[in-house]
Amino acid sequence: MSKKLWLSLLLLVSSFYAGVAVQAAEELVIYSGRSDKFVRPVIAAFENKTGIKVIVHNAKATELINKMRVEGKRTHADLFISNDAGSLQVGSKLGLFETLDEALVKPIPANYRAADNTWIGLSARARVLVINNAKAKELGFVKSVLDLADPRLKGRLAITHSANGSFIAGVTVYQKALGKDSTLAWLRGLAQNSEGKVFNKHSKVVRAVAQGKKDIGLVNHYYIYRHLDKHPDAPIQILIPDQGEKGMGVAWNVAGIAQVKYSDKKALARKLLDFLVSAEGQKIFAEVNREYPVRADVSAASQIPANGSYKVADVSMPVLGEERESTLSLIDQAGLH
Q: Where are the domains of the chain?
A: 3-124+254-305, 125-251+322-334
State the Cα–Cα distance between residues 331 and 304, nearest whole angstrom.
30
User: Does the pLDDT of residue 17 top 50, yes or no?
Assistant: no
At the fourth CATH level, the homologous superfamily of domain 3-124+254-305 is Periplasmic binding protein-like II (3.40.190.10)
Q: Cα-Cα-Cα-Cα dihedral of 65, 119, 117, 29, to 10°?
A: 80
Tell me the CATH number for domain 125-251+322-334: 3.40.190.10
DSSP secondary structure of 206-245: HHHHHTTS-SEEEEEHHHHHHHHHH-TT-SEEEE--S-ST
* pLDDT value of position 79: 98
* pLDDT value of position 337: 78
Sign of CA dihedral 80, 81, 86, 89: positive
Stretch 296-310: mean pLDDT, rounded?
Answer: 93
Same CATH fold, 125-251+322-334 and 3-124+254-305? yes
Cα 272 from chain centroid? 18
216 forms bridges with which residues in the sheet?
Answer: 131, 157
* pLDDT value of position 25: 56
* pLDDT value of position 157: 98
Letter string b/e over residues 231-248, b meaning 16 or more CB atoms within 10 A of that residue's CB? eeebebebbbbbeeeebb
Stretch 72-88: mean pLDDT, rounded?
Answer: 96
Residue 26: pLDDT band (50, 70, 90) is confident
Round the average pLDDT of the chain to a whole number and report it.
Answer: 92
Q: Residue 193's closest CA among 3, 39, 334?
A: 334
Cα 279 from chain centroid? 19
* pLDDT value of position 23: 41
Position 80, amino acid: F
